[in-house]
Amino acid sequence: MIHIVFQQADIDTLQKAIELDKLLQGQIFNIKDDFAVGPVKGIYETESYQSRRDWWKELLQHSPYIDQLDVVDDKLTAHQLKESLDADFSEQVWIWVAPNQHDVCGYYWLISQLKEYEGRVYILSLNNLPFINEKGNIFYPVDLHEIPAKEFIKAKKLARPVTLSEFELDGDEWKKLCTENGIVRILEGGKKITSKDASYYDNDILKAVSQELQKLQKIFSTLFGKMKLHTGDVFLVWRMRELISEGKLEMQGDWNNGWKDVSLKLPGVAAIDNKPESDITV
């Protein structure tokens, strides 16, 4: 059995579940790119794939994750997955998909490459399904790693083969999204993904920034607490920089010194005597 997840935190949670249930024993592959944002037109072509990597490289500048681009090679991961399936015809793939656009877009990117393995590829969709948290309360997880390890014994019962019609329909849906090439893709329920403009999260950002200078970490705390649909901090910082260039945000600090040196505020209010909050390590 091979497990596919879409976030690093999912690996740790799934490994704990495997310790409790040996029937889940298997190799875990992680699709690391966030296909819910960024250019995807011609994504399987070498030139377009490189253009996407260049786009991420630009966004990662001055971030705490500057070195992570070099460890993201999902094309190699997909190749290794296929090699494992070709080497053992009894091998199965279980794709764990939580109800968030990150997982669903990652699923779309991957499933379009696995049609020849129909009958051996399973999906575990957690959409709108209740689980029990550590306090014994019912909740509906958005991310796989939110589920307690012991609950995976129940979750594994969700596994079902991806049907031939799903390979066709989901492949067509991903082709449509790639053609639209919206910089943002959001989940509207189930596996329904809709393309949006790069500015989709801008209003959320502006609502999280005040008329007083605030460090980025403080803004992130406010932002993630209020956003209905989450995206990564790297993408959000890119949009903040775009809003600064448009005059919709004002900045104090130097990006070259990293995120921790930057404070933001809304424009139009004097802040000569205002000092930003004490440094918070990002």
Above 50 in pLDDT, residue 237? yes
Q: What is the CATH number of the domain that holds 146?
A: 3.40.1360.10
- Co-location of 47 and 172 in the same domain: yes
- Co-location of 164 and 24 in the same domain: yes
Residue that wins the pLDDT comparison between 204 and 277:
204
Q: For 40-192, where are the E strands, in sequence order?
A: 93-97, 121-125, 131-132, 138-139, 160-161, 184-187
**63 Cβ partners below 8 Å, 6+ apart?**
234, 237, 258, 259
Above 60 in pLDDT, residue 1? yes
279 assigned to some structural domain: no
Q: What is the CATH number of the domain that holds 210?
A: 1.10.10
**161 Cβ partners below 8 Å, 6+ apart?**
118, 119, 120, 121, 122, 123
106 assigned to some structural domain: yes
In the chain, % helix, strand, coil (3-state, to 5) comes to: 50, 15, 40
H or E element at residue 99: none
Looking at the chain, the number of H-run helices and the number of E-run strands are: 9, 12
230 assigned to some structural domain: yes
- Report the domain count for the chain: 2
Residue that wins the pLDDT comparison between 73 and 273:
73
- Co-location of 125 and 243 in the same domain: no
- Co-location of 53 and 9 in the same domain: yes
Above 80 in pLDDT, residue 133? yes
- Co-location of 56 and 149 in the same domain: yes
191 assigned to some structural domain: no
Task: Give the domain range for residue 47.
Answer: 2-177
- pTM of the model as a whole: 0.91
Q: Binning pLDDT at 50, 70 and 90, where does residue 169 land?
A: very high
